[in-house]
Amino acid sequence: MSSDNIHSVLTETRLFAPQPDFVARARLDADGLSALHAAAAADHVGFWAGLARKELGWQTPFTEALDSTQAPNYRWFADGHLNVSANCLDRHLGARGDKIAIRFEGEQGDVATYTYRQLHGEVCKLANALKSLGIGRGDRVVIYMPMVPEAVMAMQACARIGAIHSVVFGGFSASSLRDRIEDAGAKLLITADGGHRAGHIVELKKAADEALAEGCATISKVLVLKRTGHTVNLDPDRDLWWHTLLAEQSDRCDPEWVSAEHPLFLLYTSGSTGKPKGIQHSSGGYLLGATVTCQWVFDLRDDDVFWCTADVGWITGHSYVAYGPLSNGATILMYEGAPTVPDAGRFWKICQDHGVTIFYTAPTAIRALMKLGDEWPVKYDLSKLRLLGSVGEPINPEAWMWYHTAIGKQKLPIVDTWWQTETGSIMISPVPGAVPTKPGSCTKPLPGIAVEVVDENGEAVADANMGGYLVITKPWPSMLRTIWNDNDRYIKTYWSQFQGRCYVAGDSVHRDADGYHWIMGRVDDVLNVSGHRLGTMEVESALVAHPRVAEAAVVGRPHEIKGESVFAFVVCKGLRPSGDEARQLTQELRDWVAKDIGALARPDDIRFAENLPKTRSGKIMRRLLRSIARDEQITQDTSTLENPGIVEQLARKD
Ligand code: PRX
């Protein structure tokens, strides 16, 4: 654990108490929160069972809340039956049928709205369309779409018929899409002709065609939404237009009742190997986590307009766009495009124009917008905003203070929410009407979430000045159930480090004397670039697939906007390139990685070397490479290196 990190958080002593007017209207105040914590502490399983009965609609009630017989493959509410789409749509048709469920704005300024009744009708039509293509319970459907309401409809339609969706972020490349389709064994791909992003068309259909050109034998049909209207290739035997197929469908479709343990979705995320893992989530437990955290953390009420800026390709877009808010009958806002189109005021204009009350985004966006200056937010009326949120990476105190001042006008609470693809819903976060905040801390675990900080031996870290591993010691309903097709990897990755006693999150954390948590970063070989996880091995395998590359090692380097950027050390076949050749190859390799994985993996820096620093047993000294990438003084002992002379060459910037 880095003592620098601990030192920096120890110097942050500012404390912001919830404003009295917020507390007065909050769903949960300090007493309410204490009561929930006490109930969870007294009976962990009973606490969650009570919430599951109260917050979700069941077709068949469950009789057993938690089944630990196959631990760590825990099962929650398994003999209960429900349908996630019925919980998100049908149950609101009575009281909220005419309430707006989704307000949408495209990057080019087009606006669309769907009431709960309209959304229900569209989801039913799509669900019937999927059935007409032979898709049913347990079949996998990959969704590769822009950030438009139809992406949420596609997820909800799968849920309605018991199909398992796997959304692939539209910024991922054709080969990343192919790998995910193949691992999931998907029968159907739902995509669009393209999407609008940063003034360009994202060529989704073209990438889909490329992905399907090799392999992907399980895919029989491709459903294509017309979004941009530009010309795309349509294979008459395989591809169908969304609008043509939906025109024939009824807007009624009975939900398929499934066990609470039925998989709702797979979502691929990076780990410390080259192969992304398909995180498998359940139906009942997952929805419960997404539903209650919207109430606790976002204080969600009927008159809110909730805007979570995350793409549906990430877990945040699942839990806080597609499922949690709709399960609560809320109005959500969706925006298709980039935050700076046509200018740096776009996010704030959207907040003004749509009356956004709750705004949830990532530190990377906050830092980028902060850099563009205070003159942008002041142009717009942000007076409807009442709560701000942050997710995806540690938010540095400077960005927190800007968010608080320039957007929150020093009044609005900020919820810094720590969680992961694997946890399904928010785990550690302030409850805005109850918990005072400190800039840069995600504060304390939510009720029913048992977080510990442990040392290498799994012993609780008692000293408030020490960091440790973030672990979760009791199962919780929205936890991942397994890794698709690889339960051994599930056990090894999350449950093997401390004799299976707890879930190991892969983050290091420091808990201060007030019990506040300060996330320090990943302890594995996973980078966090703009709030997105990226395995160093994934980038390394992309690099070594290039004909000129013999060996590569990738590390993270702190970056002002992105949090971390990709820094690659590359050993070429033949002579080490220099001068123009090096410059040309650098560009080629950067594009190569972007094409292979997606633009977010594009290395910012590439440095060529004749060799990599290795121990005598052949292990690459990554810590040393991290120091070199950061231009730090080398303090590590290099005497154990096989090739100590290499350090000087690696540190040279020519
Ligand atoms: O390192 C933590 C960081 O993001 C990782 C999870 O990434 P992912 O599965 O892509 O999900 C991101 C959105 C939930 C964590 O292991 N992280 C997430 N939120 C925070 C954070 N680090 C610090 N503070 C946060 N609020």
- Dump pLDDT digits (tens) for 575-602: 999 999 999 999 999 999 999 999 999 9
Residue 7 pLDDT greater than 70, yes or no: no
Rounded Cα distance between 440 and 6, Å, is 12
Which tokens in the block code for residue 60? 């068949």
Nearest in space to 382 (alpha carbons), one of 404, 403, 408? 408
Edge-to-edge strands of the sheet including 503-511? 451-454, 467-472, 503-511, 517-522
313 Cα: distance to centroid of ligand 1 (angstroms): 15
Using one digit for the tens of pLDDT, what is the confidence trace for 79-136?
Answer: 999 999 999 999 999 999 999 999 999 999 999 999 999 999 999 999 999 999 999 9
Taking the centre of ligand 1 as the mean of its atom positions, its distance from the CA of residue 512, in whole angstroms, is: 19
pLDDT higher at 654 or 347: 347
- Of 268, 393, 470, 509, the one to substitute when testing ligand 1's pocket (max ligand atoms within 8 A of C-beta) is 393
Read off the pLDDT of residues 287-304 as tens digits, 9 standing for 90 and up: 999 999 999 999 999 999
User: What pLDDT digit, counting tens, does each position of 409-446 carry?
Assistant: 999 999 999 999 999 999 999 999 999 999 999 999 99
Spatial CB neighbours of 583, under 8 Å, sequence gap ≥ 6: none
More confident residue, 479 or 618: 479
Percent of the chain scored above 90 by pLDDT? 90
Indicate whether 348 pLDDT > 80.
Answer: yes
Residue 261 has pLDDT above 50, yes or no: yes
Residue of 266, 418, 532 to test ligand 1 pocket, by largest number of atoms within 8 Å of CB: 418
DSSP 444-508: SBPTT--EEEE-TTSPBP--TT-EEEEEE-S--TTS--EETT-HHHHHHHHHTTTTTSSEEEEEE
| Residue 505 alpha carbon, nearest atom of ligand 1 | 16
Measure 429 CA to ligand 1 centroid, in angstroms. Answer: 12
Confidence of residue 1 (pLDDT cuts 50, 70, 90): very low
Average pLDDT taken over every residue of the chain: 95
pLDDT at 10: 57
Residue 649: predicted pLDDT: 83
DSSP strand E in 574-654: where?
Answer: 605-609
Tokens of 468: 């440790």
User: Binning pLDDT at 50, 70 and 90, where does residue 317 land?
Assistant: very high
Q: Which residues pair with 111 in a beta bridge?
A: 105
Measured in Å, residue 345 CA sits from the centre of ligand 1 at 26
Interval 264-290 mean pLDDT = 94
Q: How far is the CA of 436 from the centre of ligand 1 (A)?
A: 21
pTM value is 0.95
DSSP line for 125-188: HHHHHHHHTT--TT-EEEEE--SSHHHHHHHHHHHHHTPEEEE--TTB-HHHHHHHHHHHT-SE
pLDDT at 3: 47
272 pLDDT band, cuts 50/70/90, is confident
Report the separation in Å between the CA atom of 292 and the middle of ligand 1, taken as the mean of its atom positions. Answer: 19
Gap from CA of 227 to ligand 1 centroid (Å): 31
Sheet holding 414-417, edge to edge: 111-115, 100-105, 331-335, 305-308, 358-361, 387-391, 414-417
Q: What is the mean pLDDT of residues 533-545?
A: 93
Atom 3 in ligand 1: residue holding the nearest Cα: 393
Tell me the C-alpha distance between 602 and 146, whole Å: 21
Q: pLDDT for 37-94, tens place per residue? A: 999 999 999 999 999 999 999 999 999 999 999 999 999 999 999 999 999 999 999 9
Q: How far apart, in whole angstroms, are the C-alpha atoms of residue 456 and residue 498? A: 9
Q: How far is the CA of 319 from the centre of ligand 1 (A)?
A: 14
| Atom of ligand 1 minimally distant from the CA of 519 | 23
Report d(CA 2, CA 111) in Å as an integer.
48
Instruction: For 213-259, write each residue's pLDDT tens digit.
Output: 999 999 999 999 999 999 999 999 999 999 999 999 999 999 999 99
For ligand 1, atom 6: residue with the closest CA:
420
Mean pLDDT of 378-400: 96
Q: Which atom of ligand 1 is nearest to the CA of 526?
A: 1
**Residues with C-beta less than 6 Å from any ligand 1 atom:** 269, 315-316, 391-394, 416-421, 442, 505-507, 519, 522, 528, 532-533
pLDDT value of position 638: 82
Instruction: Tell me, in angstroms, the distance from the centre of ligand 1 to residue 649's CA.
Output: 35
Among candidate residues 32, 31, 29, the one with its CA nearest the CA of residue 21: 29
Determine the residue type at 136: G
CA 425 remoteness from chain centre:
10
Strands 188-192 and 140-144, by their bridges, are parallel
Ligand 1 binding pocket mutation candidate from 420, 425, 442, 472 (most atoms within 8 A of CB): 420
In whole angstroms, give the CA distance from residue 320 to residue 271. Answer: 23
Compute, in angstroms, the gap from residue 363 CA to the centroid of ligand 1. 11
For residue 641, the model assigns a pLDDT of 83
Long-range contacts of 352-355 (CB under 8 A, 24+ apart): 352/380, 352/381, 352/382, 352/384, 353/105, 354/103, 354/105, 354/305, 354/307, 355/305, 355/384
Measured by CA distance, the residue closest to atom 23 of ligand 1 is 394
